[in-house]
């Protein structure tokens, strides 16, 4: 059974991705940071439905803690599917943005990508098969007022993923980015009300976490073996 790690599995989109990958027959490491109880509850639910999952907790900005947790998992077997989904936003118009807001958002998304992806890469290469899928945002493509930090962090993930896809292509490993628009989770609730969604989204609704998970599930599958180095946006027609 292939093993998958989904960072931010305790969140809205991450939980849907965990459910989808478990339904597709992978063993899923459901990752959390502060809400480990939520990850544990999701694992119980996946197991009750006949799936296979384990909770795992660490702060992706803490390189030493991340590396220690991943080493423990890798001691059992490689992890061949990685979904870098953990992320935060902390919005402010640029002149008023505090340095801490800038650094923290970049730390979680971009440095978190490095801290989690790097230790998994060599074991994945040895198996000659892998999928690295990173969740970015439509804000990295269009820009978004008040989100210079978030768009910068997510945009850097596009460039990093394109470069990494070229390094790993000959080893049977694909590297792609999924850039969601407005998805119905706790993160978007405090930013977009119904009027904003109707104005910004041609489909006049937020996306569902399961719709993002279906795309991730496809990119993780055998059928997606020839798709690599791509940024695929799922946004109800926003761009
Ligand atoms: P949630 O806020 O529901 O989930 C965020 C997840 O990230 C949580 O599981 C959280 O873990 C984890 N996380 C946050 N900080 C850290 C950290 N330092 N270390 C480890 N994990 C951390 O957000 P969504 O599900 O909505 O978003 C998931 C991803 O999708 C994010 O990358 C987001 O930027 C992106 N996205 C979301 C959109 C939306 O409209 N919802 C639109 C576009 C992109 P815990 O709760 O356990 O602390």
Residue 59, ligand 1, Cβ within 6 A? yes
First to last CA, the chain: 37
Kindly report, residue by residue over 98-152, the tens digit of the pLDDT. Answer: 999 999 999 999 999 999 999 999 999 999 999 999 999 999 999 999 999 999 9
Residue 30, ligand 1, Cβ within 6 A? no
Set 29, 102, 113, 150: catalytic member: 150
Catalytic annotation on 226?
A: no
Residue ID of nearest Cα to ligand 1 atom 5: 11
* Best CATH choice for the domain 3-234 from the list 3.10.129.10, 3.40.50.720, 3.60.40.10, 3.40.50.980: 3.40.50.720
Delimit the domains of the chain by residue range. Answer: 3-234
From residue 141, give the alpha-carbon distance in Å to each of 90, 122, 130, 138, 203. Answer: 18, 30, 26, 5, 19
> In whole numbers, what is the pLDDT of the chain averaged over residues?
98
Cα 170 to middle of ligand 1, angstroms? 31
Cα 86 to middle of ligand 1, angstroms? 4
Kindly report, residue by residue over 63-99, the tens digit of the pLDDT. Answer: 999 999 999 999 999 999 999 999 999 999 999 999 9
Residue 186, ligand 1, Cβ within 6 A? yes
57 DSSP assignment: E
């Amino acid at each position: 059974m292939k093993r998958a790690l989904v960072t931010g599995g305790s969140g809205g989109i991450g939980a849907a991705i965990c459910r989808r990958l478990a339904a597709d027959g992978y063993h899923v490491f459901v990752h959390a940071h502060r809400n480990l109880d939520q990850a544990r509850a999701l694992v119980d639910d996946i197991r009750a439905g006949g799936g296979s999952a384990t909770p795992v907790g660490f702060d992706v900005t803490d390189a030493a803690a991340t590396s220690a947790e991943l080493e423990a998992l890798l001691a059992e077997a490689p992890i061949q599917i990685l979904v870098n989904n953990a992320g935060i936003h902390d919005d402010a118009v640029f002149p008023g943005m505090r340095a801490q807001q800038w650094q923290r958002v970049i730390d979680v998304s971009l440095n978190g990508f490095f801290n989690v992806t790097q230790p998994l890469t060599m074991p994945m290469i040895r198996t000659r098969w892998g999928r690295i899928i990173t969740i970015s945002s439509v804000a990295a493509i269009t820009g978004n007022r008040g989100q210079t930090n978030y768009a910068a962090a997510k945009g850097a993930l596009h460039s990093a993923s394109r470069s990494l896809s070229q390094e790993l292509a000959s080893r049977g490993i694909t590297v792609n980015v999924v850039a969601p628009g407005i998805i119905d989770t706790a993160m978007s609730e405090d930013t977009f009300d119904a009027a904003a969604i109707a104005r910004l989204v041609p489909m006049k609704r937020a996306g569902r976490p399961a719709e993002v998970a279906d795309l991730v599930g496809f990119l993780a599958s055998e059928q997606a073996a020839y798709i690599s180095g791509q940024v695929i946006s799922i946004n109800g027609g926003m761009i």
